[in-house]
Amino acid sequence: MSWRLIDSLKNEFRGEFSVLTQSEAKKLGRGWFKWANYMAHKDKAHMHVYKLQRVGYADILGIISITYRDGVFIDSLEIAPHSRRMPNHQRRYVNLCDVMIAFAAYWGIDRYNDGFIGLIPKTGLREHYERKYYAYPLNLGIYAIDTPVTSRLIRLYLY
């Protein structure tokens, strides 16, 4: 199964998700979240950490940690450091976050028949999630993205 990655010129490429291993997490370069520490201290039975890569390339474009707690919950989502510091029009791929959210929803539908997403956005990203994904606050800083929105993302980006 592959996902549609779109560059700033609207060209399309295939991306795929696979499990991020502890050894891969230890090798992540400067600017990445400390995924190896995170993976070592979380409940491994319920935590699923995936990397996003362009098919045929070794570079990791993004990493997502997903659990299921009365719905799909994105514990953490990170795009590659070199991408997140650039304005959208200068990024190599402009839809990495969209694809990762779509993947999380697909993961939930596939395993639990549930595409509802919960997440805790960083403070500076709350308005972005509200505007782009129609996310709304539930409680304790948790935001929700409803199934119709995630279903649309899946239709847009799943090959």
Domains of the chain: 3-157 (3.40.630.30)
Indicate yes or no: pTM above 0.95.
no
For 112-152, what is each residue's pLDDT tens digit? 999 899 999 987 899 999 999 999 999 888 999 999 999 99
pLDDT on residue 100: 98
Average pLDDT, the chain: 92
> Residue 147 is which amino acid?
T
pLDDT on residue 118: 96
Mean pLDDT of 90-108: 94
**In the block, which residue shows the tokens 């997490």?**
25
pLDDT on residue 37: 92
